[in-house]
Structure 1
Amino acid sequence: MTVHRISTHLHDGLRFDVKDEGPKSGEVVLLLHGFPQTSSCWDAVVPLLNAQGYRTIALDQRGYSPGARPRGRWSYRTDLLVADVVSLIERVGAPVHLVGHDWGAVVSWGVSVARPDLVRTHTSVSVPHPAAFVKSFLTSRQLLRSWYILFFQLPVLPELVITRVPGVFARLLASSGMDAELFERVQAEIVESGALSPAIGYYRGLLLSPGAARGRSRVPTTHVWSSGDSALDRAGAELCGDYVRAPYRLEVMEGASHWIPDQEPQRLAEIIGERARG
């Protein structure tokens, strides 16, 4: 069977940008980025996975691809984000090794729970199973760490603060461990490109998706959490395994910040490969 490279993907009337690299004959690792980044967050991980023999497909998700920016918070419900990825996997034509960081992990959990037939293995990075995340509110400081989720529910104001108040966005991301070079990429790819409001739309659509990934996953899974993550408490990572009914492992990166794909690509590629090989 001839394998064709994928550079764009059409679904739900939207056009998604895709980066398809590595050996065409390799098993597919599908990579989902988080907020506030695009698929470029995987740039250091991709060649390492390609060297392991995997074909990598990195998707610029709904709101991030210029051709996939519908208006309104209802357009960013988690079930729609999951459907976008399911559609792409079905086009690939075979189950994939699914990897998601941050919001990409939220989506990857949704896909793994809803369509385990499409997922060979799952590696979630930073964000645990949504039910574990919510349960951690009761046993940790996670609710306080998640203040920005409530802030992003406000219309217009978050965008005004980020774009009109000098230095606020830079200081916020620096406090999470993001360096200046990475912030410049965020500024160009998210703020200046017009992706900011759609990206915040993920948070606004979250409260409209109460059933997202409610069930347990039956996909072999590794969850990766970093001890220097200022947004996510360890409690959620520790609870994550309770929601997987398949081989499961928790990997803790001591001292690493939230931005694992950019700052710890070698170790992350190793973890993804270990899970994919089973």
Structure 2
Amino acid sequence: MDIFIRGGLVFDVRDSGPGDGEPVVLLHGFPQDSSAFDRMAPALHSAGLRTLAPDQRGYSPGARPTGRSAYRLRESVDDVLALLEAAGLTSAHVVGHDWGGIVGWALAAWHPWRVRTLTSLSVPHPAAMTQALGHSDQALRSSYIGFFQVPAVPEAVLLAGRGAVLRRMLCQGGLPPELADRYVERLRQPGALTAALNWYRALPLSGTPVGTVRVPTLHLWGDGDAFLGRAATEATAQFVDAPYALEVLEGTDHWIPELAADRAAELVTAHVRTHG
């Protein structure tokens, strides 16, 4: 399966690994695409797992609707449900990084029967994140989000000099330059950065809160993460009513799929085999 369709939107998806393997949906975040899992997926395949990695809405050229309301969390969750339907799957293991992790948390909370296990890379439960904003350094770490929500200005700033500002921001956050170049080049396509930023602009429209998660959950966090701090990470356990484990990756930045791919794949495989 190279694509799936929902509501007239055409999503690119990488369906790889053994066709009869336990299915694992891999959800990328900002400013990545499904290639974020290029270093991690082969190890999952070697363990007998099938991976389905979509370019999420706004990142697939054929699924780039206009207007921030099209990027509400509910829409992104429903995209994953459409992917499962297209693949003929009742449920799957879900691994999400960054925004993909937020989609994973919501999917597991709202549709637990569709999620065999959840693994969130970097991102804490949204309620833990909200909690941490009031009593830790998380508000400072997240200050860029307010800028991203401003209309039009972020595009002009981030793409100035062929994306030099965005590239510098990513590299300062720990992403290797060659990967930053790849993601920036993709976001320089017409409308691509606006679509990616609309995920942030839709935050005030989120509606239904992400409640308690009741599926087996693994949370991986790098203690070098510039964007997400320890307070929200440690508070996440309060919002999971199921087997839960936190693994702290020492010396690892935010970009776990790229920078800690082997260790992440090892932990995901163990999680799937234990609770699958």
**Fold conserved between structures, TM > 0.5:** yes
Task: Please tell me whether residue 142 in structure 1 is matched to residue 134 in structure 2.
Answer: no
Q: Residues 152-163 of structure 1: matches in 2 within 5 Å?
A: 152-163=148-159
Question: Which piece of structure 1 moves more, 13-22 or 169-178?
Answer: 169-178
Q: Is contact 1:79–1:212 with CA below 8 Å preserved after alignment?
A: no
Q: Secondary structure at the match of 2:26?
A: strand
Give the structure 2 partner of residue 131 of structure 1: 127
**Distance (whole Å) between structure 2 residues aligned to residue 122 and residue 183 of structure 1:** 27
Task: Please tell me whether residue 255 in structure 1 is matched to residue 251 in structure 2.
Answer: yes
Give the superposition deviation at 1:171: 1.8
Q: Is contact 1:126–1:224 with CA below 8 Å preserved after alignment?
A: yes
Q: Deviations over 1:63-120 (max 9, x none)?
A: 0000000000011011111111112123332311100000000101110011110110
Q: Residues 26-65 of structure 1: matches in 2 within 5 Å?
A: 26-65=21-60
Structure 1 pair 193–47 and aligned structure 2 pair: CA distance change class (3 A): farther
**Distance (whole Å) between structure 1 residues aligned to residue 181 and residue 266 of structure 2:** 28
**Distance (whole Å) between structure 2 residues aligned to residue 167 and residue 19 of structure 1:** 29
Q: Secondary structure at the match of 2:183?
A: helix
Give the structure 2 partner of residue 3 of structure 1: none
Identity %: 47
Give the superposition deviation at 1:193: 5.9
Q: One-letter code of the match for 2:217?
A: T
Alignment partner of 2:206 out of 197, 206, 209: 209
**Distance (whole Å) between structure 2 residues aligned to residue 210 and residue 250 of structure 1:** 28
Q: Is contact 2:166–2:184 with CA below 8 Å preserved after alignment?
A: no
**Distance (whole Å) between structure 1 residues aligned to residue 227 and residue 136 of structure 2:** 12
Task: Please tell me whether residue 79 in structure 1 is matched to residue 66 in structure 2.
Answer: no
Give the structure 1 partner of residue 177 of structure 2: 180
Give the structure 1 partner of residue 168 of structure 2: 171
Task: Please tell me whether residue 192 in structure 1 is matched to residue 184 in structure 2.
Answer: no
Q: Is contact 2:138–2:229 with CA below 8 Å preserved after alignment?
A: yes
Q: Is contact 1:177–1:258 with CA below 8 Å preserved after alignment?
A: yes
Give the structure 1 partner of residue 113 of structure 2: 117
Structure 1 pair 193–273 and aligned structure 2 pair: CA distance change class (3 A): farther
Gap regions ≥5 residues in structure 1: 1-5
**Distance (whole Å) between structure 2 residues aligned to residue 164 and residue 174 of structure 1:** 16
Q: Deviations over 1:170-224 (max 9, x none)?
A: 22111100111111111222223642110000000111104241x1000100011
Q: One-letter code of the match for 1:32?
A: L
